[in-house]
Amino acid sequence: MIAPAEERGLRIAVIGAGLSGLAAARMLADQRHRVSLFEKSRGCGGRAATRRATQPSAETLRFDHGAQYFTARDPRFQRCVQTWAERGLVAPWDGRIGAFDGDSFTPAGQETTRWVGVPGMSALGRALAEDLEVRLQTRVRPPRWCRGRWQLSDEAGQELGRFERVVVSAPAPQSAELLMDAPRLAAQAACVDYTPCWTLMLGFAAPVPLAFDGIFVNQGPLRWVARDSSKPGRWAAAMGPAGSGNCWVLHAEPGWTRKHLNDAREQVQAAMLAAFATLVDVAGGALPAITWRQSHSWLYSLVETPLEEGCLWDPALGIGACGDWCNGARVEDAWLSGEALAGRILAAMASG
Ligand SMILES: Cc1cc2nc3c(=O)[nH]c(=O)nc-3n(C[C@H](O)[C@H](O)[C@H](O)COP(=O)(O)OP(=O)(O)OC[C@H]3O[C@@H](n4cnc5c(N)ncnc54)[C@H](O)[C@@H]3O)c2cc1C
């Protein structure tokens, strides 16, 4: 379907090294195009992220504070996940999953395979970026269309190069800004909304007495809580001198997060912790001593109003956008969107 690239491939910039950007970059680089990936943060993987914390005891704690796990429903994505599993980058999480309605707990169906990165979600992004040219800590300004090429610069005004094609893979509101010189695509990106999410990461001195490792919470400020150290590969990684590995991640409910987005961190932490303590209390236990805590607010967590486009592509300008928001709201949607955009770029070349 795709004509093999010539030895001298196109110069292609990919803005954003989340899973959609990585999918696009890998596919284009596999066709021998000269791909430069720009990422504003310190690592690759985007919202499939892991926070590491070193305790005074020298114990390293890991928390997946963004995406908790991912599913693979599309056969194309299933094949990718299988190869990642064979390389040891991901593994199924066999955690006991339940739901809490405020009074009682019920087990959730275990028929879905829940995949996680090993030893943390960010391991996947890191591995997928390995043989690509990546510039981290580089926040790209909106690319400018100038004499038949896209000119990129960073926020300090430093030139990043001129490119024949550009892939924008940031969350939709940020993509809308980056697509300033492609107004048709920018208008589509501007229609997409996200839910925000306050996240609280907690390390405990002893196991939290809950019969579940992941709980969908349907009442109060919380939406989801997870015993992160029950995921594969975490326990060994978290085993330090104290050997506790009792790491939990709490996600707040979107409406509650919106209401408290600008509250002081301490206040948010206290409210989320109190809700968690109530949940443990209903289960008949009490929270052990906390050894570590940190919160993070995600302004863009899950897409509320995704497009049904797969990806966006302007063949006349040679610029496109991909990301979960083009396709759905999940890791799988992000990956397939990145591949879809790379496919559009390659197909456009093949047809001249
Ligand atoms: C709290 C939370 C819970 C979630 N839970 C799940 C879950 O359980 N299962 C699931 O499947 N999905 C979940 N998701 C969603 C999942 O993480 C996303 O769908 C997926 O990771 C999106 O990938 P992406 O590549 O589209 O975007 P991102 O991962 O957001 O990647 C975009 C990248 O672009 C970079 N960027 C932005 N602007 C610029 C710029 N100007 N210059 C350079 N770089 C830039 C960003 O730093 C980022 O790395 C969750 C997300 C959050 C936040």
Instruction: Please indicate, yes or no, whether residues 93 and 162 belong to a single structural domain of this protein.
Output: no
Q: Which pLDDT score is estimated for 7?
A: 61
Return the pLDDT at 213.
96
In a shared domain, residues 220 and 333: no
Ligand 1 within 6 A of CB of 17 = yes
Residues 4 and 72 in one domain: no
Atom of ligand 1 nearest to the CA of 298: 53
With beta carbons less than 8 A apart as the criterion, state whether 11 and 143 touch: no
Q: What is the mean pLDDT of residues 309-314?
A: 97
Residue 170 CB–ligand 1 contact under 6 Å:
yes
pLDDT for 21-46, tens place per residue?
999 999 999 999 999 999 999 999 99
Tokens of 234: 């975490």
Cβ of 16 closer than 6 Å to ligand 1, yes or no, is yes
**Residue 234 Cβ contacting ligand 1 at under 6 Å:** no
Give the chain's domain count: 2
Q: Could you tell me the CATH number of the domain that includes residue 253?
A: 3.90.660.10
Whether 204 and 272 share a structural domain:
yes
Main-chain dihedrals φ then ψ at residue 134, nearest 5 degrees: -120, 135
Distance CA 292, CA 116 (A): 23
Q: Tell which one of 22, 40, 47 to mutate to probe ligand 1, the residue whose CB is within 8 A of the most ligand atoms.
A: 47
The Cα 12–Cα 164 span in angstroms is: 6
pLDDT in tens, 288-311: 999 999 999 999 999 999 999 999
Q: What's residue 115's pLDDT?
A: 98
Q: Is 136 found in the same domain as 9?
A: yes
Backbone phi, then psi, for 150, in 5-degree steps?
-95, 125
pLDDT at 5: 55
User: Which domain does 79 fall in, by range?
Assistant: 50-121+194-304
Q: How many angstroms separate the alpha carbon of residue 209 from the centre of ligand 1?
A: 32
CATH code of the domain in which 343 resides: 3.50.50.60
Same domain? 251 vs 271: yes
**Residue 60 pLDDT class (50, 70, 90 cuts):** confident
Instruction: Specify the higher pLDDT residue, 243 or 159.
Output: 159
Given a cut of 60, whether residue 232 has pLDDT beyond it is yes
What is the per-residue pLDDT for 9?
87
pLDDT score of 4: 53
Q: Binning pLDDT at 50, 70 and 90, where does residue 271 land?
A: very high
Residue 3 has pLDDT above 60, yes or no: no
